[in-house]
Amino acid sequence: MANTVNIKIDGIDVSVEAGKTVLDAAKKLNIHIPTLCYHEDLCVAGNCRVCVVEQEGVNNLVASCAIPAQKGMVIHTNSHKVRNARRHVVELLLSEHNADCTKCYKNTKCELQDLASEMVINEHMFMDLVPDKNYTTDKQSPSIIKDDSKCIRCQRCVRTCHDLQHVSALGVAYKGDHMKISTFFEHPMYEVVCTNCGQCVNRCPTGALIEKNYLDEVWDAIYDEDKHVIVQTAPATRIALGEDLGMESGSIVTGKMAASLRRLGFDSVLDTDFSADLTIMEEGTELLTRLKKALVDKDTSVKLPMFTSCSPGWVKFLEHTYPDYLDNLSTCKSPQQMFGALAKTYYAEKKGLDPDKIVCVSIMPCTAKKFEANRPEMRDSGYQDVDMGLTTRELAVMIKQAGIDFQELPDEKFDSLMGESSGAAVIFGATGGVMEAALRTAYEIVTGREVPFKNLNITAVRGMEGVREANIKLENVLPAWSFLEGVELKTAVAHGLTNAHQIMEAIHKGEANYHFVEVMGCPGGCIGGGGQPIPTTPEIRRKRAEAIYREDEGMAVRKSHENPEVQQIYREFLGEPLSDKSHWLLHTHYVKRKRV
Amino acid sequence: MPEIKELVTGLADKHGRTRESLLPILQGIITEERFISDDALTEVARELDISAALVYGTATFYSFLDTKPRGKFVIRICRTITCDMKGKKQIINTLEDLLKIRVGETTKDKNFTLLETNCLGWCHKGPAMLINDDVFTELTEDKITEIIRDYMRNI
Ligand code: SF4
Ligand code: SF4
Ligand code: SF4
Ligand code: FES
Ligand code: FES
């Protein structure tokens, strides 16, 4: 047992793996040590000092999140000295903090407030410095609000944006008591490289970085008799929403979610999974068309690898960072936007609704979807295709506001026409899912046979490895696809923009030779999206992904092209994938953006 | 813009394009331009392939890496305790009168900027100030007037 270390915490012996911190050891004993700058997904910063503990024989208190357990350590987590120090830390933070909790979006969901409440802070011991601080709030982005008066400078956001996302839209500027979290030249988030992924929002312990919420707008639409309010729900919402409503991570709440939306008063309760299946039809066909042009017609203007385009964070990242690769992005809109464009055309037509009176609301695991809905390109129906994008968290708020006992709801189904989906659509929510769904369909189109994997589960593209590759050999293809006979289809999957950057560098340097690459902007894919319940940790992402695959296995239809409503829309409205109508409503283009 | 681009490329050629090159490059820009503009920071970020926000963070951390437009001559008076007690207030008043600007401002002709700074290490000869890289110590009202007149004559 050379690799374990024995220490004593609060009189209890514990042994942990070498390299683990005192904080890890305490967790093992179920001793709670408060933390602020620490986050399981991030490197240790050790800057807030709220996690201090007393180590016997050492004069100063030590930061338990930063100090590795060492043989023979005797630690006290709750001594007089420790409690005093922690209290001072929190009091000092509060002295610079605009603590108007009742007006704060994070009220009751704030780690600083939790600490203040735990310490029963009544009278403040330090002077209130807020009036002298000239804090500013940036509300210009359609996705994210940054309120410096709530910032405790823990730098979780900075580490998130740098380490996980390779964007570094946020950095630390100035020093000492002027130190602040800042974009380039303190420009609004809206004007810089920020991808709106919301990963920083998901990790900010306070109300300093929050999503822009559209709760009032949605309630107003619901109460407006004149409006027909359609709601669509993204794949990853159904396995995470429960967490914000008192349920275990990994609970599948598809049926309860549909029921709750109906009770909230939405007029049509539909599913983004439907348009995820549609995305597969369009994107799969686009891939095969690109391959044909490249391999048969030797058309050098065709760009390979083709990149998926359903993650708006990834799309904006590429627009800023690799603008020379925009032609590699699939022209397919994301499922949210395909849905919006069809809601105000196809659905309106079929249901005899006036598109002018339709309000299209989406429930997304994502904050970038808010930005995407507001992109000027996304108005092909003649209206803004998606009017408001809410996060999973915002839906949970609405359900609570309406006094609905979520856990007791019956399971209900989505409404028809755009509510039916396949297991392939559900797995869009996890990294690798779009690839798997596309392969299930494309392989079958080309060979006439199902993908050669047990239960259709393409496990090579699953998992949490940052970059994964899978090659599939196409053999005995149907006559129409003879040019693909013997071709080994090379695919790769990346999640989180740091991994996306890695794959882009490999492609750029000519070290990687893929045909098709799936990228999701958030770690774990949408299940770990910036709009998902807080906290999101590696363990929680694993449970959510596991739930996604369980949901897929339980579906009657597992392949996008077998979704009866998808077949119907091609029969009755779109014609075929990549038809003129598809191009008009379901495809888009991208714009070069500056890299600051 | 093109001059900035050239300047930054030149500095990067000289100092390298790694993280460690960032400070020398920023200092090089200060030497040439007196301040680091928005465009200059963007160029540095592009040239070193690092985020513009991080470059901005580094620049704002150091008081001598100004990101606001500055005059040809940047005057920095020590505001720390020794100089303060030796009468820096009076020096500032004199400078403000001479230059017709307040601390933090730049003259209309863009020749002088007046700033305060922390201890310069000349406490034994305070009050002290810097004009660009030159130190002036044991300042008096007369001495200051003469120094500034000298600079004005040589512009
Ligand atoms: S960030 Fe937390 S402590 Fe601050 S006002 Fe909001 S809820 Fe209160
Ligand atoms: S914005 Fe939030 S995450 Fe970032 S430093 Fe401030 S409190 Fe921490
Ligand atoms: S939303 Fe994403 S890209 Fe923007 S600052 Fe936050 S982590 Fe960085
Ligand atoms: S949580 Fe340990 S120093 Fe912040
Ligand atoms: S106090 Fe002015 S130089 Fe030190």
Per the listing, tokens 């460690």 go with B20
With a CB cutoff of 8 Å and minimum separation 6, the contacts of A571 are: none
What pLDDT shows up at residue A2? Answer: 63
Rounded to an integer, what distance in angstroms lies between the CA atom of residue A164 and that of residue A169? 12
**A446 to each of A110, A440, A477, how far by Cα in Å?**
52, 11, 6
What pLDDT shows up at residue A124? Answer: 86
What confidence tier does B1 reach under pLDDT thresholds 50, 70, 90? low
Domain count of the fold of chain B: 2
Secondary structure class of A384 (helix, strand, coil): coil
Rounded to an integer, what distance in angstroms lies between the CA atom of residue A344 and that of residue A383? 8
In this structure, are B99 and B143 located in the same domain? Answer: yes
Nearest to A369 by CA among A321, A301, A310: A310
A71 φ/ψ angles, rounded to the nearest 5 degrees: -45, 130
Rounded to an integer, what distance in angstroms lies between the CA atom of residue A274 and that of residue A564? 10
Using a CB–CB cutoff of 8 Å, tell me whether B60 touches chain A: yes
Bridge partner list, A469: A492
Tokens coding A208: 């300093």
Tokens coding A3: 């690799």
Question: Would you say A139 and A189 are in contact if contact means Cβ atoms under 8 Å apart?
Answer: no
For residue B66, is it within any domain? no
What confidence tier does A261 reach under pLDDT thresholds 50, 70, 90? very high
Rounded to an integer, what distance in angstroms lies between the CA atom of residue A474 and that of residue A478? 10
Give me the torsion for CA of A463, A436, A324, A289, rounded to 10°. Answer: 170
In this structure, are B79 and B7 located in the same domain? Answer: no
Identify residue A408 by its one-letter amino acid code: E
Q: Do A173 and B46 touch (CB under 8 A)?
A: no
CA A401 to the chain's CA centroid: 24
Spell out the domain ranges in chain A: 4-78, 92-211, 280-333+421-586
pLDDT in tens, A339-397: 999 999 999 999 999 999 999 999 999 999 999 999 999 999 999 999 999 999 999 99
What confidence tier does A268 reach under pLDDT thresholds 50, 70, 90? very high
Span B87-114, mean pLDDT? 95
pLDDT in tens, A488-512: 999 999 999 999 999 999 999 999 9
H-type alpha helices, A367-514: 368-373, 392-401, 423-426, 433-447, 497-508
Residue A456 in this model has a pLDDT that exceeds 90: yes
Rounded to an integer, what distance in angstroms lies between the CA atom of residue A373 and that of residue B42? 29
Q: Is the CB of B147 under 6 A from ligand 5?
A: no
Report the pocket of ligand 1 as residue ranges, CB < 6 Å.
A 97, 99-101, 104, 106-107, 110, 112-113, 150, 206-207
Span A24-29, mean pLDDT? 98
Rounded to an integer, what distance in angstroms lies between the CA atom of residue B61 and that of residue B83? 24
CATH number at residue B103: 3.40.30.10
Residue A401 in this model has a pLDDT that exceeds 70: yes
Residue A123 CB: number of other CB atoms within 10 A? Answer: 5
Bridge partner list, B134: B131
In this structure, are B93 and B143 located in the same domain? Answer: yes
Identify residue A246 by its one-letter amino acid code: G
Span B19-36, mean pLDDT? 94
Mutate which of A156, A172, A201 for ligand 2 pocket (most atoms within 8 A of beta carbon): A156
What confidence tier does A109 reach under pLDDT thresholds 50, 70, 90? very high
H-type alpha helices, A99-244: 111-118, 156-159, 199-203, 215-223
Question: Would you say A440 and A277 are in contact if contact means Cβ atoms under 8 Å apart?
Answer: no
In this structure, are B78 and B56 located in the same domain? Answer: no
Rounded to an integer, what distance in angstroms lies between the CA atom of residue A478 and that of residue B154? 86
What confidence tier does B155 reach under pLDDT thresholds 50, 70, 90? confident
Question: Would you say B129 and B77 are in contact if contact means Cβ atoms under 8 Å apart?
Answer: yes
What pLDDT shows up at residue A147? Answer: 98
In this structure, are B135 and B93 located in the same domain? Answer: yes
Question: Would you say A311 and A522 are in contact if contact means Cβ atoms under 8 Å apart?
Answer: yes
Identify residue A287 by its one-letter amino acid code: L
pTM (2 d.p.): 0.95
Residue A204 in this model has a pLDDT that exceeds 60: yes
Q: What is the ipTM of this complex?
A: 0.90
Bridge partner list, B130: B76, B135
Secondary structure class of A76 (helix, strand, coil): strand
Rounded to an integer, what distance in angstroms lies between the CA atom of residue B123 and that of residue A115? 45
Tokens coding A527: 């299940």
What pLDDT shows up at residue B86? Answer: 94
In this structure, are B15 and B47 located in the same domain? Answer: yes
For residue B113, is it within any domain? yes
Q: What is the DSSP letter of A533?
A: P
In this structure, are B90 and B141 located in the same domain? Answer: yes
Using a 10 angstrom Cβ sphere, with 0-12 exposed, 13-18 middle and 19 or more buried, the burial of residue A256 is buried
* Ligand whose nearest atom lies closest to the CA of A153: 2
Using a CB–CB cutoff of 8 Å, tell me whether B1 touches chain A: no
Cis preceding-peptide flag for B127 (omega within 30 of 0):
yes
What pLDDT shows up at residue A100? Answer: 96
What confidence tier does B126 reach under pLDDT thresholds 50, 70, 90? confident
Rounded to an integer, what distance in angstroms lies between the CA atom of residue A170 and that of residue A158? 5
Q: What is the mean pLDDT of chain B?
A: 94
Picking from A168, A192, A595, the nearest residue to B54 by CB comes out as A168
Residue A534 in this model has a pLDDT that exceeds 90: yes
Bridge partner list, A76: A54
Rounded to an integer, what distance in angstroms lies between the CA atom of residue A281 and that of residue A584? 15
For residue B67, is it within any domain? no
Q: What angle do CA B9, B11, B13 make, to 5 degrees?
A: 70
Between 1.10.1200.10, 3.40.190.10, 3.40.50.2020, 3.10.20.740, what CATH number should domain A4-78 receive? 3.10.20.740
What pLDDT shows up at residue A123? Answer: 84
Q: What is the mean pLDDT of chain A?
A: 97
What confidence tier does A21 reach under pLDDT thresholds 50, 70, 90? very high
Rounded to an integer, what distance in angstroms lies between the CA atom of residue A234 and that of residue A560? 15
Residue A1 in this model has a pLDDT that exceeds 60: no
Using a 10 angstrom Cβ sphere, with 0-12 exposed, 13-18 middle and 19 or more buried, the burial of residue A462 is buried
In this structure, are B111 and B131 located in the same domain? Answer: yes
pLDDT in tens, A135-161: 999 999 999 999 999 999 999 999 999
What confidence tier does B97 reach under pLDDT thresholds 50, 70, 90? very high
In this structure, are B80 and B48 located in the same domain? Answer: no
Question: Would you say B94 and B54 are in contact if contact means Cβ atoms under 8 Å apart?
Answer: no
For residue B123, is it within any domain? yes
In this structure, are B86 and B43 located in the same domain? Answer: no
Rounded to an integer, what distance in angstroms lies between the CA atom of residue A139 and that of residue A374? 15
The closest-lying atom of ligand 2 relative to the alpha carbon of residue A153 is 5
Mutate which of A112, A115, A181 for ligand 1 pocket (most atoms within 8 A of beta carbon): A112
In this structure, are B57 and B77 located in the same domain? Answer: no
H-type alpha helices, A96-231: 111-118, 156-159, 199-203, 215-223
Domain that holds residue B80: 73-153
For residue B35, is it within any domain? yes
Rounded to an integer, what distance in angstroms lies between the CA atom of residue A526 and that of residue A311? 8
CA A149 to the chain's CA centroid: 26
In this structure, are B106 and B149 located in the same domain? Answer: yes
Cis preceding-peptide flag for A68 (omega within 30 of 0):
no
Picking from A170, A173, A595, the nearest residue to B60 by CB comes out as A173
CATH fourth-level superfamily of A280-333+421-586: Fe-only Hydrogenase (Larger Subunit); Chain L, domain 3 (3.40.950.10)
Last residue of a domain, one of B32, B61, B90: B61
A144 φ/ψ angles, rounded to the nearest 5 degrees: -130, 140
Using a CB–CB cutoff of 8 Å, tell me whether A595 touches chain B: yes
Pick from A240-249, A294-303, A581-590: least confident? A294-303
For residue B111, is it within any domain? yes
Span A325-341, mean pLDDT? 98
Sign of CA dihedral A514, A447, A463, A420: positive
Question: Would you say A373 and A344 are in contact if contact means Cβ atoms under 8 Å apart?
Answer: no
Question: Would you say B99 and B137 are in contact if contact means Cβ atoms under 8 Å apart?
Answer: no
% pLDDT > 70, chain A:
100
What pLDDT shows up at residue A121? Answer: 87
What confidence tier does B63 reach under pLDDT thresholds 50, 70, 90? confident
Q: Do A183 and B46 touch (CB under 8 A)?
A: no
H-type alpha helices, chain B: 2-15, 22-33, 38-48, 52-61, 81-85, 88-99, 141-153
Question: Would you say A546 and A250 are in contact if contact means Cβ atoms under 8 Å apart?
Answer: yes
Of B126 and A417, the structure prediction assigns the larger pLDDT to A417
Between 3.30.70.920, 3.30.70.20, 3.30.565.10, 3.40.640.10, what CATH number should domain A92-211 receive? 3.30.70.20
Q: What is the DSSP letter of A434?
A: H
For residue B130, is it within any domain? yes
Residue A50 in this model has a pLDDT that exceeds 70: yes
